[in-house]
Amino acid sequence: MPFFSAKMSAMDENRRGYDLKAPGRSGGGAPRHLPGLGGPFPRVDDHLVEPEVTRDEIIGGHRIVAMPANPPHANQQSRLDYVLQALVAPGYIASADLLTRHDQESDFASDACIYKEGVDPATDARYLEEIAFEVVSEQNEGVVTEKARRMQRRGVRRIFAVWVKKAHRVCEWSPKSESWRRLGSDASIEDPCLVTPLQVADLLDAAKADSAVVEALAAKGNPAIRKREAAAEARGVAKGEIKAKAEDILEILEERSIPVVEAQRQEILGCQDLDRLKRWLRRAVMASSADEVTSEP
């Protein structure tokens, strides 16, 4: 039974951009052969539909309309985009709703993907996605599965789906079994496209997504993160020096057998002004009482 209820009409096939019999119209680069389908792969940007003009997508010769999302799907996709943008490794691009010609009869977008920067010399077009993500809510599971099969056949290395209804879960497409394999909430996704492993839990929880983004930005040496880390380190050094100076003052007074009442001890230990502590330390060497150390002229 087909996974779509309606095929493209003759009018659809005659619309501008539809030409299922002539892949590779855009030219440039040698065609790649399509395993099992008897034809070459078109370029990834040799579209059957008009990007940013129509909501149409073509999957296996069937036309569907990519509809706007309800909150569960929209919120999950936003979180997915947020995390991937931070985790994408140098030399790669994270993209959302990127239209790709996957075969002679298919021109559709994944919800999110990562692909290599630059131009593929084999096709003179952008590189094919290496990782693709689908968010599944109202969308028919059969449609998502068919998209996964065609993406895999095209050469997309890894394909994931995030289900947002009922059992909120993340699955990876298995080329061997041609089925979805559920990932545990404690699982992680490691890939050359990612600067740090993507924890499955980070895709399912907003707070954990924030932590994942911070860790990824730190791993990439983000200037703002490095500046904050340097400032924190400087504050730590300053606090350490302040504590050391206060302890030096008390040690000198103790060595000189000068009594220090608890109120004076707390005043010295609680002082956060390094310059003042340095003055007190100089006085401690010559003072005859603790009052002479902390008194200001």
* pLDDT at position 297: 54
Task: Give me the percent of the chain exceeding a pLDDT of 90.
Answer: 37
Question: What's the whole-number average pLDDT of the chain?
Answer: 82
- How confident is the model at residue 277, as a pLDDT? 86
pLDDT digits (tens, 9 = 90+) for 70-116: 888 899 999 999 999 999 999 999 999 999 999 999 999 999 999 99
Instruction: Please tell me the predicted confidence (pLDDT) of residue 125.
Output: 93
Considering only the C-alpha atoms of the chain, give the largest distance between any 2 of them, rounded to a whole number of Å: 104
The answer to the question of residue 3 being in a domain is no
Can you give the pLDDT at residue 196?
93
| Residue 1 placed within a domain | no
Q: Kindly state whether residues 248 and 126 are assigned to the same domain.
A: no
Last residue of a domain, one of 193, 219, 245: 219
Do 203 and 235 belong together in one domain? no
Find the domain containing 83 and state its range. 10-219
pLDDT tens profile 2-29: 444 333 333 233 333 333 333 333 333 4
Lowest pLDDT segment from 14-23, 50-59, 216-225? 14-23
Per residue in 137-154, pLDDT (tens digit) is 866 788 899 999 999 999
Q: Does residue 54 lie within any of the structural domains? A: yes
- Domains: count for the chain: 2
Kindly state the average pLDDT of the residues 44-53: 84
pLDDT band with cut points at 50, 70 and 90 for residue 39? low
User: Residue 220's pLDDT band (boundaries 50, 70, 90)?
Assistant: confident
User: Please, are residues 260 and 270 in contact by the beta-carbon 8 Å criterion?
Assistant: no
Write the DSSP string, 124-189.
TEEPPEEEEEEEESSS-HHHHHHHHHHHHHHT-SEEEEEE-SSS-EEEEEETTTTEEEEEPTT-EE
